[in-house]
Structure 1
Amino acid sequence: MNEFLPISKKDMEERGWEQLDFVFVSGDAYVDHPSFGPAILCRLLEKHGYKVGIIPQPDWHSTRDFDRLGKPRLGFLVSAGNMDSLLNKFTAAKKMRHQDAYSPGGKSGFRPERATIVYCNRLRELYPDVPIIIGGIEASLRRMAHYDYWSNAVRRSMLVDSGADMLIFGMGERALLEVAADLQQGVEIGNIQDVQGTCYKVPNMDYVWDYLPLPSYQEVASDKKKFAEAFKLEYLEQDAFRGRKLAQQNDEWCVVQNPPAKPLSEEQMDEIYDLPYMRTWHPIYDKDGGVPAIAEVQFSLLSQRGCFGGCNFCAIISHEGRTIQRRSHESLLREAKILTQQKGFKGYIHDVGGPTANFRRTSCDGQLERGTCRGKPCLSPIPCKNLVADHSDYIKLLRELRALPGVKKVFVRSGVRFDYLLLAKDEFLKELCEHHISGQLKIAPEHITDRVTRMMGKSNRKVYERFVDKFTAMNKKLGKKQYLVPYFMSSHPGSKLEDAIELAEFIRDKGYHPQQVQDFIPTPGTLSTCMWYTGLDPLTGEEVYSAKSPEDKLMQRALMQYWLPKNQAIVRKALTKAGRTDLIGFDKKCLVRPAGGQFDKSKNDKSKLTSQKGNRPKNKAIKKVRR
């Protein structure tokens, strides 16, 4: 019978264990499910013969909680959790979030800011001689000197600031097993320097060989051009097959980054997702109503990793990589059968996908031997001539899943790349519309002006509109009424006020009423963050504008929801600032009405409508439109 991994000495005693090999300290509550990194890594170590326990969300105000499982034989593993602890705690406006989906009851306050650093400091107080290995999204994207939005400063590598011995970046299964095997053989942690997917530290570059030097922390912290130069080298070498070793001096330590870990084979992916997960939160959270984050993934299937979409604001390139790694149909069918037996399953598989649902193969042939092309995008903004657009494997998988006994419907919700879909035959679009949408399909054009989509690494407005037409035609052919729910982003680098206004007009003309608006957040490790901080595109040297003042950001965000009463004043201010007072008035093309029902004409005013209070024409532009 399956059981949860130990979280207390009592659990260890029940297993007859006196000492653990590894103790995993996590910023998340303990959910034993394959969508949660700590669960995957601990279950994998367990399968390979190691004794592992978890300390979830320890009280960091003292060392007592960190000693809950005693001193491990081989080392501590530390992660802030499935999200960066600062992104988890603060909004784009740097306001405190009041909920944390990865904590019991969804309550906030269970983890510190910069959790990885805080946890390592406490562990060093307790056991200064025990190896500490950090990983997870927070450490992975902060592995070299990086811009930190929340402190508005360039910070050193998290490997240095945490005092840890090693940093595992990316999806760490392969690297962790190699490091664990070396530790088991008695190799000192400081001598483990050849594992791909890891960073280690040495006093200076005299201790490194066959590497590319990056500008030092001191240089990138004081010179934005040097920061862009360093980022460009990191970005271009982010490949497991052709990537070079990198080294950067961070004050008293030189941080060395080995090339990323090799992609996992189909068999290795199957091994990870076939492990004996409990598939729920630990019973200690029952009194709090559980851990909300599991709701989104409890009846979903992760079929692949990696993404070659090339969105510049996304961290997947730096974390999971561009090379697709997929599970076999047999593994996914086994997990689907398990889902049908789970409590609460009502016949619906909520999602089958990954970072991008319809990427089930590498972007081109031979990629697993030679790697991805250096500096050449696969899909956007212009598709590579060698790109293979093929949905046949994904279609076959979806058909097999929906044929399983007990499965009523299989949805695709994790995001579909419509530009990739358009490059293939219409068979997948037909399959998608006919069987795998619950009335709405979420897609992410993100913006519509050429300047902004180019900076985003996204396809342009014409491509999106071509997809909308195809989607509409296909649903009409099938006799279905289904709608697109597009996601847009405000204040991305390159987006000026006029771009935001053009997007608002597009939203108006399409009848969209987005309920949620994503404001760009500069997170470590992305090309867009480098542009936002430096004002430069690091790949081309082109100067890039970014809206940085709170008011400028608020204007761009408000324009995307111009019809909301709370946004009227700031939208009027934005339109006036941009010289677009023609969009203030009572005409159906206007975004907002004038304040107080009167409109003071200016030379920029193209509207001929005026009105007195109580005698206003109906404003069709703010009519509720079903999406």
Structure 2
Amino acid sequence: MVRLPSFEQVRDDPVLYAHASRVFHQETNPGNARALVQAHGDRDVWLNPPPIPLTTQELDRVYELPFSRRPHSRYGDARMPAWEMIRCSVNIMRGCFGGCTFCSITEHEGRIIQSRSEASILREVEDIRDRTPGFTGTISDLGGPSANMWRMACRDRRIEAACRKLSCVYPDICRNLEVDHEPLIQLYRAARAIPRIKRVLIASGLRYDLAVRSPAYVRELVTHHVGGYLKIAPEHTEEGPLSMMMKPGIGTFDRFKAMFERFSREARKEQYLIPYFISGHPGTTDRDMLNLALWLKRNGFRLDQVQSFLPTPLAIASAMYHSERNPLRRVTRTSPRLPVVRGQRQRRLQKAFLRYHDPENWPLLRQALKDMGRADLIGNGKRHLVPSFQPAGTGGAPEGRRKPRGSPETSRARRPAPGRGRRRG
């Protein structure tokens, strides 16, 4: 077993807190994890190693138990948006080997992928078709923690049992990881072929650094399984924040985007990517967010849905937020401090950079650009990030104030912004 610093020590010392988080995450592989012990006052808390992952047969038995496929009766006729979202979806796997530091899925489900059999998945599709009231013929998702990790695993069980890496795909895809999308392509085709199934959509988050390894998979996905929009999560463009998130560089996103657009054209479909980005993640500076905003403008993205970082239990990024240290590396008293966004004004500013097109954010952005020595980005031309004028009734401007006429930015601001982050041609 491994003894962690005591509760009282990690409560009072951010450096020991970060160290304890690092040790905890190094003991998450069931093949080699040791028990963890932590003193709480005059008692010890014992944490068992993670359980051995379920086999495909065991996972099939779990998912094929006689579930009612309905909300609990205590909810009566109440409308439940979360239930509506998942009632026609199928979970095909558990676990995630991505290791994103802001996510705690791996702490809940493990880093080893546990996959259901194709036969079990198809039986559930048929069960939804036959038992779901009001079923329209559309399966809303075949996925799980990730859309495209089904049946992916380490090429050698002995290597897997000895590994202590936190991610199989960062900083690069591990050479021992078998990245084969062909079984998933065959599953998609089999699901589409089931009688009275009109459409099968993929709504789970796509791991695009894996997808670009298989143009055939991207073609299959784009041609048959995108309902107009596809969620994808580059999270940032700058190397500093991406290294703290353990996410791939933006160049990989560009490669996937090129594939997505090419295959959409070939299928003669108008489809859009919905990119998700995070503001306020530990390790992110205001200048990082400015560079991200400039990238968004260059690429024609106007985001609707954005995320402002909040700490979640057990996630490595939460330890970064609290301790201002990086548990991805050995933590010492001399470890450099991370920039951490805490104050409400800075959190609002970093989020405002993601929505640079929203007039409500322009006063805050103008002041920030001046403070950063980038007042050259304030103006009414295409090369500017925010205009110099303020539309009446927005951002604290009085109702009677008028916008200057004839400005291209003025006319564009009157149009309704494209929905949900779609790319403008």
Q: CA offsets, 1:233-258, max 9 Å, x none?
A: 10000111110011001223311111
What is the rounded CA distance, in whole Å, between the counterparts of 1:613 and 1:483 in structure 2? 32
Q: CA offsets, 1:569-589, max 9 Å, x none?
A: 112122222221111111112
CA contact (8 A) 2:100 2:246 kept: yes
Percentage of pairs with the same residue: 36
Indicate yes or no: 2:215 matched with 1:215.
Answer: no
Structure 1 residue identity aligned to 2:303: P
Distance change >3 Å, CA 281–CA 482, structure 1 → 2 = same
Partner of 1:556: 350
What is the rounded CA distance, in whole Å, between the counterparts of 1:345 and 1:305 in structure 2? 26
Query: How does 1:269-308 map onto structure 2 within 5 Å?
Result: 269-287=59-77, 289-308=78-97
Structure 1 residue identity aligned to 2:48: N
Indicate yes or no: 2:39 matched with 1:249.
Answer: yes
Higher relative contact order (CA 8 A, sep 6+): 2
What is the rounded CA distance, in whole Å, between the counterparts of 1:239 and 1:455 in structure 2? 21
Indicate yes or no: 2:255 matched with 1:470.
Answer: no
What is the rounded CA distance, in whole Å, between the counterparts of 1:512 and 1:568 in structure 2? 17
User: Equivalent of 1:338, from 118, 127, 145?
Assistant: 127
Indicate yes or no: 2:230 matched with 1:441.
Answer: yes
Partner of 1:393: 183
Indicate yes or no: 2:110 matched with 1:316.
Answer: no
What is the rounded CA distance, in whole Å, between the counterparts of 2:354 and 2:366 in structure 1? 13
Partner of 2:52: 262
Indicate yes or no: 2:201 matched with 1:411.
Answer: yes
Indicate yes or no: 2:30 matched with 1:236.
Answer: no
CA contact (8 A) 1:231 1:538 kept: yes
TM-score (ref. length: structure 2):
0.90
What is the rounded CA distance, in whole Å, between the counterparts of 1:450 and 1:588 in structure 2? 26
Distance change >3 Å, CA 390–CA 417, structure 1 → 2 = same
Indicate yes or no: 2:366 matched with 1:572.
Answer: yes
Judge which range, 482-491 or 381-390, deviates more: 381-390
SS of structure 2 residue aligned to 1:280: coil
Structure 2 residue identity aligned to 1:478: A
Distance change >3 Å, CA 330–CA 567, structure 1 → 2 = same
Structure 1 residue identity aligned to 2:56: E
Structure 2 residue identity aligned to 1:400: A
Structure 2 residue identity aligned to 1:307: C
Q: CA offsets, 1:559-606, max 9 Å, x none?
A: 111111221211212222222111111111222222569xxxxxxxxx
CA contact (8 A) 1:323 1:372 kept: no
1:375, CA displacement in angstroms? 3.0
SS of structure 2 residue aligned to 1:382: coil
Structure 1 residue identity aligned to 2:242: T
Unpaired segments ≥5 residues, structure 1: 1-210, 598-611
User: Equivalent of 1:516, from 305, 323, 334?
Assistant: 305
User: Equivalent of 1:500, from 289, 299, 316?
Assistant: 289
Q: How many aligned positions are there? A: 401
Superposition CA RMSD, Å = 1.8
Partner of 1:193: none
Partner of 1:145: none
Distance change >3 Å, CA 349–CA 368, structure 1 → 2 = farther
Partner of 1:224: 14
Q: CA offsets, 1:314-343, max 9 Å, x none?
A: 001211111000111111111111110211
1:284, CA displacement in angstroms? 3.1
Q: CA offsets, 1:535-575, max 9 Å, x none?
A: 11112145321111111111000111111122121121222
Q: CA offsets, 1:286-339, max 9 Å, x none?
A: 24x243321111000000000011211000121111100011111111111111
Rg larger in structure: 1
CA contact (8 A) 1:241 1:369 kept: no
Unpaired segments ≥5 residues, structure 2: 392-401
What is the rounded CA distance, in whole Å, between the counterparts of 2:412 and 2:43 in structure 1? 59
Structure 2 residue identity aligned to 1:535: E
SS of structure 2 residue aligned to 1:255: strand
User: Equivalent of 1:547, from 328, 338, 341?
Assistant: 341
Distance change >3 Å, CA 387–CA 298, structure 1 → 2 = same
What is the rounded CA distance, in whole Å, between the counterparts of 2:55 and 2:347 in structure 1? 43
Query: How does 1:115-154 map onto structure 2 within 5 Å?
Result: none
Distance change >3 Å, CA 386–CA 318, structure 1 → 2 = same
Structure 2 residue identity aligned to 1:552: Q
1:613, CA displacement in angstroms? 5.5
Distance change >3 Å, CA 212–CA 476, structure 1 → 2 = same
What is the rounded CA distance, in whole Å, between the counterparts of 2:267 and 2:79 in structure 1? 41
Judge which range, 223-232 or 472-481, deviates more: 472-481
Structure 1 residue identity aligned to 2:244: M
What is the rounded CA distance, in whole Å, between the counterparts of 2:200 and 2:53 in structure 1? 28
SS of structure 1 residue aligned to 2:212: helix
What is the rounded CA distance, in whole Å, between the counterparts of 1:520 and 1:284 in structure 2? 34
Structure 2 residue identity aligned to 1:379: V
Indicate yes or no: 2:284 matched with 1:490.
Answer: no
TM-score (ref. length: structure 1):
0.62
What is the rounded CA distance, in whole Å, between the counterparts of 1:235 and 1:319 in structure 2? 12
What is the rounded CA distance, in whole Å, between the counterparts of 1:216 and 1:458 in structure 2? 32
CA contact (8 A) 2:171 2:248 kept: yes
Distance change >3 Å, CA 379–CA 621, structure 1 → 2 = farther
CA contact (8 A) 2:156 2:176 kept: no
1:385, CA displacement in angstroms? 2.0
SS of structure 2 residue aligned to 1:281: coil
What is the rounded CA distance, in whole Å, between the counterparts of 1:401 and 1:596 in structure 2? 52
SS of structure 2 residue aligned to 1:442: strand
Structure 2 residue identity aligned to 1:308: F
Structure 1 residue identity aligned to 2:266: K
What is the rounded CA distance, in whole Å, between the counterparts of 2:37 and 2:351 in structure 1? 39
CA contact (8 A) 1:508 1:621 kept: no
Q: CA offsets, 1:128-176, max 9 Å, x none?
A: xxxxxxxxxxxxxxxxxxxxxxxxxxxxxxxxxxxxxxxxxxxxxxxxx
SS of structure 1 residue aligned to 2:76: helix
1:282, CA displacement in angstroms? 2.7
What is the rounded CA distance, in whole Å, between the counterparts of 1:369 and 1:500 in structure 2? 39
CA contact (8 A) 1:242 1:370 kept: no
Distance change >3 Å, CA 368–CA 582, structure 1 → 2 = same
